[in-house]
Amino acid sequence: MSDIKDQVRAYIVENFVMGSTKFVLSDTDSFMDKHVVDSTGFLELVTFIEDSWGVTVEDDEMIPENLDSLANIEAFVSRKLPALPQAA
């Protein structure tokens, strides 16, 4: 599922740090602590998540435990995605 983290990282670099190649964001870095995403940016990030993976982020799910790092977003989106059928 690192694809989720890779896509979100690319989105953040492109949209919030203007493509800076010097910007480093680890999987567990807090977006708020690193001053990467502000409140308006979180709404944009939520829209990106919903559009990219076809999930709905409910108001009560807009919490740091779900959305404040790449690892948190990956875990959150993975929980929201429908389970894939198991091969027989």
For the stretch 34-48, pLDDT in tens is 988 988 999 999 999
pLDDT of residue 1: 46
pLDDT of residue 85: 52
pLDDT of residue 46: 97
pLDDT of residue 17: 85
Give CA angle at 58 (28, 67), nearest 5°: 10
Every domain of the chain and the residues it spans: 2-80
H-state helical runs in 17-81: 39-53, 64-67, 70-80
Low-confidence ranges of the chain (pLDDT < 70): 1-2, 19, 83-88
Collapsing DSSP to helix, strand or coil, 50 comes out as helix
Taking the C-alpha atoms of residue 12 and residue 87, their distance in angstroms, rounded to an integer, is 35
CATH of domain 2-80: 1.10.1200.10
pLDDT of residue 20: 72
